[in-house]
Amino acid sequence: MAEPLRIALAGLGTVGAGVIRLLETNAALIARRAGRQIEIVAVSARERGKDRGVDIARYAWDDDMTAMAARPEVDVVVELVGGSDGPALTLARNAIRSGKALVTANKAMIAHHGVELAAAAEGAGVALKFEAAVAGGIPVIKGLREGAAANAILRVYGILNGTCNYILSTMEDTGRDFADVLAEAQAKGFAEADPAFDIDGVDAAHKLAILASIAFGSRIDFAPIAPVGIRRVLAADIAQADSLGYRIRLLGMAETETGSDGQCRLFQRVHPHLVPLDHPLANVDGATNAVVAEGNFSGRLLFQGAGAGDGPTASAVVADLIDIARALNAPGGFGSEIAAPFSIPVAELEAMPPAEAGHRVGRAYIRFVVADRPGVLAEITAAMRDAGVSIESLIQKGRSDAGQDVPVLVALVTHDGPEACIAEALRLLDGSTSLVEPPLVMHILEE
């Protein structure tokens, strides 16, 4: 058998410890499939003495993880620390500069610096792989880069954050409110102590930016996404959506469109959506992730599975290592693996300007919390009419004997129409004393 593939492992948390366990448990089958052993030679984390449930005594220890790249015996640096910048980025740059392959699960770093790192990797002739960065254990990058490589991708979208999906599907099952379910998710370890990145859609936006680049051959463009998360979704919205034949899911969605100037633009959105009950994504529950890619010849492809957790994420990291080991077996070494981390070489990635959402046409659910007094409904419907929004259905909930001080919920579903008209209607209502809080708009997923 060929020389082992020697790796340095930075980060021994959930994913890092999972990688050690997986490499130990499946060592023999991995060696057969990879054509060589995959051997950890050095590890690093913040605290050497911490009990991690795995034996790290037999590996060399580096106090300074950014120095691991300088180890001459190492072929691949595996970065499982996290953070878009800081030591993770320094290590990644050092590794590539030193001619090491880099494997990472760090979506924040790839979303912000992926183009720079891929250009450096292509220049240095080393592999850069990040399957675990998008949807954890689901081989969606491989699916797009390899399985769907023959297709023009028309649209890619999906449930990219397990924490949000767990919260929404638990709200759906129990009728409980967001804050209550979030607290329970934190207690059970499904949500971080600081959940902002997840529930405000930033984590999903990182993953979407990476997926879009691979799907459309565009340069990663995270900055314009402006994600909207699930904080403002009420149990009443979920009940309302259900009665209309939908489930609420936080979706990341990307597609390209050609502007009136003939230029190709990139549309990327992370936002809660109403998903028709008969769509496969409506039945993705709990912490599961799912990605849909629509290919012009393959049709709809659905990738579904665990988007996080030590086992699934380690599975994706080690699959990348196996790819690198296999590529080394080929004449010329890393050859096939360096070709293009984003499917096509960085120099050929297209810099697509962001699409303007106002040009988009679709249906939407708009929910208002309003003072319970005469004339409020008329005020809302007049604003819709004046802005050119056509209402398909309107529901008013909560009106009771409780008195005029108790706000009520008004929800409406629009007919197909330009999003710009909805924005205009909301502008007309801005500042209205009838509205107790800003309206919540959720787009309806069209097949």
Ligand X SMILES: NC(=O)c1ccc[n+]([C@@H]2O[C@H](COP(=O)([O-])OP(=O)(O)OC[C@H]3O[C@@H](n4cnc5c(N)ncnc54)[C@H](OP(=O)(O)O)[C@@H]3O)[C@@H](O)[C@H]2O)c1
- Which of the residues are catalytic? 207
Which C-beta is closer to ligand X: that of 30 or that of 132?
Answer: 132
CA gap 256, 301 in Å, rounded: 18
3-state helix, strand, coil in the chain (%, to 5): 40, 25, 35
Which C-beta is closer to ligand X: that of 74 or that of 81?
Answer: 81
Evaluate whether 68 touches 8 at the Cβ level (below 8 Å).
yes
CA gap 78, 325 in Å, rounded: 14
Closest C-alpha to 203, from 164, 154, 245: 164
Tell the smallest beta-carbon distance from residue 45 to ligand X (Å).
3
Which C-beta is closer to ligand X: that of 82 or that of 217?
Answer: 82
Which C-beta is closer to ligand X: that of 11 or that of 114?
Answer: 11
Please calculate the CA angle 244-249-255 and round it to the nearest 5 degrees. Answer: 105
- Does residue number 194 form part of the binding site for ligand X (CB under 6 A)? no
Selected range binding ligand X among 39-47, 281-289, 294-302, 354-362, rule: CB under 6 A: 39-47
Selected range binding ligand X among 22-30, 40-48, 149-157, 399-407, rule: CB under 6 A: 40-48
Does an H or E element contain 380, and which?
Answer: helix 376-387
Which C-beta is closer to ligand X: that of 11 or that of 417?
Answer: 11
Which C-beta is closer to ligand X: that of 112 or that of 145?
Answer: 112
Positive or negative CA dihedral for 164, 168, 169, 173? Answer: positive
- Does residue number 44 form part of the binding site for ligand X (CB under 6 A)? yes
Choice from 313, 315, 343, 414 touching ligand X (CB under 6 A):
313
Which residues are paired to 408 by β-bridges? 370
Number of residues that bind ligand X (CB under 6 A): 24
What's the one-letter identity of residue 397? K
Tell the smallest beta-carbon distance from residue 134 to ligand X (Å).
8
- Does residue number 311 form part of the binding site for ligand X (CB under 6 A)? no
| Chain centroid offset of residue 390 CA | 33
Binding mask 290-309 for ligand X (x = CB under 6 A): ------------------xx
CA gap 81, 16 in Å, rounded: 8
C-alpha distances in Å from residue 419, one per residue of 19, 241, 425, 442:
45, 20, 10, 11
CA gap 306, 287 in Å, rounded: 7
Evaluate whether 277 touches 247 at the Cβ level (below 8 Å).
yes
Tell the smallest beta-carbon distance from residue 87 to ligand X (Å).
4
Choice from 22, 56, 75, 106 touching ligand X (CB under 6 A):
106
- Does residue number 427 form part of the binding site for ligand X (CB under 6 A)? no
- Does residue number 429 form part of the binding site for ligand X (CB under 6 A)? no
Instruction: Considering only residues 67 through 86, tell me which ones interact with ligand X, judged by CB under 6 A.
Output: 80-82
Instruction: Considering only residues 154 through 193, tell me which ones interact with ligand X, judged by CB under 6 A.
Output: none
Query: CB-based contacts of 354: which residues, under 8 Å, 6+ apart?
Result: 221, 224, 265, 266, 267, 268
Crossing angle between the packed helical segments 162-174 and 178-188, to the nearest 10 degrees: 120
Instruction: Considering only residues 114 through 153, tell me which ones interact with ligand X, judged by CB under 6 A.
Output: 132, 136
- Does residue number 434 form part of the binding site for ligand X (CB under 6 A)? no
Number of C-beta neighbours around residue 19 at 10 A: 29
Choice from 47, 55, 261, 405 touching ligand X (CB under 6 A):
47
Evaluate whether 160 touches 203 at the Cβ level (below 8 Å).
yes
* H helical segments located in 273-357: 310-329, 335-338
Which C-beta is closer to ligand X: that of 14 or that of 268?
Answer: 14
Selected range binding ligand X among 44-52, 67-75, 151-159, 217-225, rule: CB under 6 A: 44-52
| Chain centroid offset of residue 244 CA | 27
Closest C-alpha to 269, from 232, 310, 225, 324: 225
Which C-beta is closer to ligand X: that of 218 or that of 313?
Answer: 313
Choice from 2, 25, 27, 46 touching ligand X (CB under 6 A):
46
- Does residue number 53 form part of the binding site for ligand X (CB under 6 A)? no
Selected range binding ligand X among 20-28, 33-41, 45-53, 432-440, rule: CB under 6 A: 45-53
Tell the smallest beta-carbon distance from residue 52 to ligand X (Å).
7
Which positions lie near ligand X, rule CB under 6 A? Answer: 11-16, 44-47, 50, 65, 80-82, 87, 105-107, 132, 136, 308-309, 313
